[in-house]
Amino acid sequence: MNQVNDIRIFCRGFIRRGRSIIIYHAGCPNWFEHSFGPAHAAARGVIIADTKFEFGLDEDGNIVLGDEMLTPDSSRFWPADEYEPGHGQPSFDKQFARDWLKANPDNNWVLPQDVVDKTIHKYLQAYEMLTGKPL
């Protein structure tokens, strides 16, 4: 199984196509596939199914990383021992909250406390699996 299902670079209007191609070819996918993050996660039973990197420009026009990376907010983490192809996967990220919101469109984007608590629990599970330490 390939640890990297998909790598997407989202350009939020301030990075034009030419620069996004520069970012892509400069090694972002290569860096991700061979970086410490996915290998570290895999060794601890976590699949990083996908992730996103957000880039911006500094005052001199240089491309810079604009946000966190390889966290439950920017990535989908799946327990390796529960992976089964062909359907949605259990996860340690915000997908649980997204799924609840999608199933409850009339709730005005307000999560009930039990969904918030379960999402927090999933983030803590990911942290503990990846670091080997409780938070």
Confidence of residue 57 (pLDDT cuts 50, 70, 90): confident
State the pLDDT at residue 96: 84
State the pLDDT at residue 22: 57
Q: What are the sequence ranges of the domains in the chain?
A: 6-131
Helices (H), 15-112: 17-25, 28-34, 36-43, 95-103
Architecture of the domain delimited by 6-131: 2-Layer Sandwich (3.30)
State the pLDDT at residue 65: 77
State the pLDDT at residue 28: 54
State the pLDDT at residue 4: 34
